[in-house]
Amino acid sequence: MGSDGNETPAVGAVLGARPDQAATVLVDLPDWATAEDVAVAWPALGDEQIDAFGRFGEERTVATGEILYRQEDSDFAMYVVLQGRVQIIDDYGGAQEHPTVEYGPRGFVGEYNLLTGQASYMTAVAVETARLIEIPRGRLRQLMAQEETLSELVLRALLRRRAALIGLSSGLRIIGSSYSASARRLLEFTTRNQIPHSWVDVERDAAAEAILRDFAVAPDQTPVVTWGSQVLKNPSNADLARLLGFAPAPEPTRVVDVLVVGAGPAGLAASVYGASEGLSTLTLENAAVGGQAGTSTRIENYLGFPAGLSGADLTARAALQAAKFGAQTAVPAEAARLEPGAGVNLVHLSDGTQVGARAVVIATGARYRRLAVDGLADLESTGVYYAATLAEALRHVGHVVAVVGGGNSAGQAAIFLAAHTRHVYVLIRRDDLTATMSRYLTDQIARHPNVEVLARTEVTALHGDGELRGLTVADGRNESRRDLDARALFVFIGADPHTEWLNGTLAVDRSGFVLTGQDVPGPGESGLRRLPLETSASGVFAAGDVRSGSIKRVASAVGEGAMAVRLVHEHLARPLT
Ligand SMILES: Cc1cc2nc3c(=O)[nH]c(=O)nc-3n(C[C@H](O)[C@H](O)[C@H](O)COP(=O)(O)OP(=O)(O)OC[C@H]3O[C@@H](n4cnc5c(N)ncnc54)[C@H](O)[C@@H]3O)c2cc1C
């Protein structure tokens, strides 16, 4: 086909109609995968869609056995199958080699990393002579920018394929002991960054010894990460990021217009709006793009998504959008110190490098305090919550629920939930609520027939698999235990801001959250009006959960990130003093 696609008959039109043959999944998909997920992940392309792909690629014929790309390849392409078959193979050439998906005519071969710029997790091999359209990565980016409907189809498919890959435990292999802090660090980094991986526990997995022998690694050299033919002994998160082709660390000499610290919803919004409005924008992220929101399995209260969406989907889309506008994101990159200055602020990273910025947006968020109970993480967002909005309440109409905490946010949640649910237990460690909750709330709680305070009580166990089915609580006065038939647990025991790295450079409130705008005591530097969201240092802004008085919602964090960029423009237009 010519690149203009007009000289020859439309490719789609000569394929024939066997849309059900576009792809066959050859492995057992994770339990969560519905028929709809499969249809979204491996769609059969229509004639017009194939023609549109054709405008961005070149036709090519490959022989049986030819490799289109390999695991670890950092530069690979997308392929639309016109004729023949292509298989996606996990651990190609290794002991665990197996095909995962087979594509036929109308299928398109590719994985999510085509969009992120990272290396491929799988190997693609033609299993019979195949006629394909090859769309190199750069051209795919153009397609994503120009073909609105097709780009949505591709994005949705690649996101679902990534989720399936993660569920299949494909990709990297981490071998170590569950008692090792380094192994746990690697697992957290890979999980939070949506990196497909499998975990081999040397304490429990009978195969571990043989695998280590194959790679000539002694047990005391664990944890190790294997990736294709490569073996990394106890790599740092940065080593792993480099191996997988994450964006390189920022150049130390650079001065950017806006440096965003933290890539949760607030930081991602600042990156998208900063870059799209022509500012050179760099974002530093210590752990994983997406922040706390990225760990939420279902966000039901984000504007415009009535059916809800997963935090991973929302933040992956935002990260791609930021990259599309030219924002750079460095992961892992930990801000370790801020040095405000007239004209240029310096942020020192924990690896010893530093970045200069005309304006800084601090979006490092807060860590919600969690209960130390087994199985908590598995139930977060399905039965354990850190917010009580109508979305959660409607999910538990008629249920018994429990609220943990004795502060005003716990009290407000209890009264609100009592209107929708059958019974609300308020679990507190103290004898009563008087010292920690406002009088108007304690009065309402005392009067409410559906709210019951259990004093000196702590949660000791959660029951349920995927959904919360009940709790065990212990009474601290007599050690007695009791089961509560609660189907939801709302945790309001506070949050700690990620501000330790600021080390006193900026004014903060009593709990360490960054003060902004009119809340900052004293006049602005050189008598300038302090802008909203501006901290005690001129040109340094704070957005999202890290800001004192913030609302602690995804939508408000996004709003503040966008607003911060508007204020950065105002700051940059001010005369230098
Ligand atoms: C399980 C769970 C479910 C939730 N569900 C909902 C919901 O359904 N709806 C809703 O509205 N809200 C929900 N929330 C709250 C919501 O996620 C937060 O309000 C939101 O993520 C705040 O965004 P943020 O960008 O301010 O901070 P965060 O999301 O916390 O992001 C901050 C980022 O900064 C990074 N960082 C920290 N320190 C540094 C440093 N020194 N250098 C570099 N990077 C750093 C962190 O690694 C993190 O990625 C939920 C929270 C949790 C924990």
Distances (CA, A) of 55 to 2, 3, 138, 150: 8, 5, 13, 12
CA of 532 to the centre of ligand 1 (A): 21
Task: Give the pLDDT of residue 412.
Answer: 86
Do 150 and 53 touch, CB atoms closer than 8 A?
yes
Residue 161 CA to ligand 1 center (angstroms) comes to 25
Sign of the C-alpha dihedral computed for residues 255, 258, 263 and 268 taken in this order:
negative
Query: What was the pLDDT predicted at 526?
Result: 62
CA of 517 from ligand 1 middle (Å) equals 22
The pLDDT of residue 294 is: 87
**Which is the closest atom of ligand 1 to the Cα of 301?**
9
Helix, strand, coil shares, percent, the chain, to 5: 30, 25, 45
Is 35 buried (19+), middle (13-18) or exposed (0-12) by CB count in 10 A? exposed
Ligand 1 contacts (CB < 6 A) are 261-267, 284-287, 291-293, 295-296, 299-301, 334-335, 363-365, 368, 380-381, 386-387, 498, 501, 544-546, 552-555, 557
Instruction: Report the separation in Å between the CA atom of 295 and the middle of ligand 1, taken as the mean of its atom positions.
Output: 8
**Six-digit token string for 495:** 């949050």
Residue whose CA lies nearest to ligand 1 atom number 2: 296
Q: Is the sign of the CA dihedral 221, 226, 231, 232 positive or negative?
A: negative
Residues 454/483, Cβ–Cβ less than 8 Å: no
- Rounded to the nearest angstrom, the distance between the alpha carbon of 485 and the centre of ligand 1 is 30
pLDDT the model gives residue 14: 38
Q: Tell how far the Cα of 364 is from the centroid of ligand 1, in angstroms.
A: 8
Q: Which atom of ligand 1 is nearest to the CA of 287?
A: 47
Distance CA 375, CA 494 (A): 20
Map tokens 């190199």 to a residue: 136
For residue 293, report the distance from its CA to the centre of ligand 1, in Å.
5
Q: What is the pLDDT along the chain (577 residues), one digit of tens a residue?
A: 333 333 433 333 333 334 456 999 888 887 777 888 889 999 999 999 999 999 999 999 999 999 999 998 989 999 999 999 999 999 898 888 899 999 999 999 999 999 988 899 999 999 999 999 999 999 999 999 899 899 999 999 999 999 888 878 788 899 998 788 898 899 889 988 888 888 888 888 888 888 888 888 888 888 999 988 889 999 999 999 998 888 777 776 779 999 999 999 999 999 999 999 999 999 999 999 999 888 777 787 899 998 888 888 899 999 999 998 999 999 999 999 999 998 899 999 999 999 999 999 999 999 989 999 998 988 887 799 988 877 788 789 899 999 999 998 899 899 989 999 999 999 999 999 998 888 989 999 999 999 999 999 999 999 998 789 999 999 988 889 999 999 999 999 989 999 999 999 999 999 999 999 999 998 766 667 899 999 999 999 999 999 999 988 899 999 999 999 999 999 999 886 6
d(CA 445, CA 231): 58
How many angstroms separate the Cα of 16 from the Cα of each of 9, 10, 24? 13, 12, 18
Exposed, middle or buried: residue 408 (CB in 10 Å: 0-12, 13-18, 19+)? Answer: middle
* Stretch (H or E) spanning 483: strand 481-484
Pocket test for ligand 1, best of 271, 295, 296 (most atoms within 8 A of CB): 296
How far is ligand 1, taken at its centre, from the CA of residue 290, in Å?
7
Q: Would you call 85 exposed, middle or buried from its count of C-beta atoms within 10 A (0-12, 13-18, 19+)? A: buried
pLDDT value of position 454? 96
User: Residue 138 Cα, ligand 1 centroid: separation in angstroms?
Assistant: 32
Our mutation pick for probing the ligand 1 site, out of 364, 395, 496, 500, counting the most ligand atoms within 8 A of Cβ, is 364
Please name the residues in contact with 279: beta carbons below 8 A apart, sequence gap of 6 or more: 256, 257, 258, 565, 568, 569
Tell me, in angstroms, the distance from the centre of ligand 1 to residue 183's CA: 24
Integer CA distances (angstroms), 94 to 58, 99, 221, 226, in order:
32, 12, 22, 11
| Residues in a beta bridge with 61 | 131
Atom of ligand 1 minimally distant from the CA of 545 = 26
* Cβ–Cβ under 8 Å, residues 285 and 331: yes
Q: What is the sign, positive or negative, of the torsion defined by CA atoms of 285, 286, 288, 293?
A: negative
pLDDT of residue 577: 61
In ligand 1, the atom with minimum distance to the C-alpha of 546 is: 26
Query: Which residues, in sequence order, are bridge partners of residue 311?
Result: none
Angle (nearest 5°) at CA 316 between 315 and 317: 90
What pTM did the predictor assign? 0.83
For 292-319, give the secondary structure using H, E and C: CHHHCCCECCCCCCCCCECHHHHHHHHH
Which of the listed residues 188, 379, 554 should we mutate to test ligand 1's pocket, taking the one with most ligand atoms within 8 A of CB? 554
Residue 16 pLDDT: 39
List 473's β-bridge partners, or say none. 459, 482
